[in-house]
Chains A and B, each alone.
Chain A
Amino acid sequence: MSISVLGIGTVSALGCGIDTVREGLEGKARPVIEEHNISFTDGEALLKVYKASINGLDRYVARPALRRIDRFNQMALLSSFLAIDDSGIIPEDRERIGIVFGSGYGPLQTTFSFLDSLIDFGDRCASPTLFANSVHNSLASQASILLKIQGPCLTISCFEQTTCSVMSTAISWLREGIVDYVLAGVGDESCDVRSYATLLLGGGGCSEINPLSFDECSYLYGEGFVVFLLGVGTTDRGYCNLISAETGENEVSGDHEILFLAANGDKETGRFYRPLINNRGRVRAYSPLYGGMPVGNGFDIAIAALSLKEGVVYPLPLLAPLLAPLQAPVPGEISSGITVVPEQIDNNTGNARISCVGFDGNGNYSLITLAK
Chain B
Amino acid sequence: MRLEDELKSLIITELKLVDVKPEDLKDNDPLFGEGLGLDSLDAVELVVLLQKHYRIETKNLEQSREAFSSVKSLADYVRGNKGKK
Contacts and interface: CB of A to CB of B under 8 A. Distances in A.
Interface of A: 63-64, 66-68, 117, 121, 124-129
A121 B16 contact: no
A110 to B, nearest CB: 12
Contact of B41 (A66, A68, A121): A68
B19 A121 contact: no
Interface stretch (B21-29, B44-52, B64-72, B75-83): B44-52
Contacts of B51: 121, 124-125
B3 interface: no
B52 A128 contact: no
Interface string B32-49: 000000000100110010
24 contacts: A63-B18, A63-B19, A64-B18, A64-B19, A67-B16, A67-B17, A67-B18, A68-B16, A68-B41, A117-B52, A121-B51, A121-B52, A124-B48, A124-B51, A125-B48, A125-B51, A125-B52, A126-B48, A127-B48, A128-B41, A128-B44, A128-B45, A129-B16, A129-B45
Interface residue range, chain B: 10 to 19
Interface in B1-17: 15-17
Interface in B45-64: 45, 48, 51-52, 57
A128 B48 CA distance: 9
B15 A124 contact: no
Most buried by A among B17, B45, B57: B45
A129 B41 contact: yes
A63 B17 CA distance: 9
Nearest to B16: A67
A40 B45 CA distance: 30
A248 B45 CA distance: 46
A203 B84 CA distance: 49
A279 B7 CA distance: 64
Contacts of A68: 16, 41
B18 A66 contact: yes
Interface of B: 15-19, 41, 44-45, 48, 51-52, 57
Instruction: Tell me the dominant secondary structure on chain A's binding face.
Output: helix
Given A126-B48, A127-B48, 17 more contacts: A63-B19, A64-B18, A64-B19, A67-B15, A67-B16, A67-B17, A68-B41, A121-B52, A124-B48, A124-B57, A125-B48, A125-B51, A127-B45, A128-B44, A129-B16, A129-B41, A129-B45
Nearest to A62: B18
Nearest to B41: A128
Contacts of A63: 18-19
Contacts of A64: 18-19
A46 to B, nearest CB: 28
A124 B59 CA distance: 11
A67 B57 CA distance: 25
A117 B16 CA distance: 17
A127 B13 CA distance: 14
A124 B54 CA distance: 13
A268 to B, nearest CB: 38
B36 to A, nearest CB: 11
5 tightest Cβ-Cβ pairs between the two chains A and B: A67-B16, A63-B18, A125-B48, A125-B51, A125-B52
B69 to A, nearest CB: 21
A121 B18 CA distance: 26
Nearest to A120: B52
A66 B18 CA distance: 9
A95 to B, nearest CB: 27
Nearest to A128: B44
A323 to B, nearest CB: 34
Contacts of A127: 45, 48
A117 B14 CA distance: 13
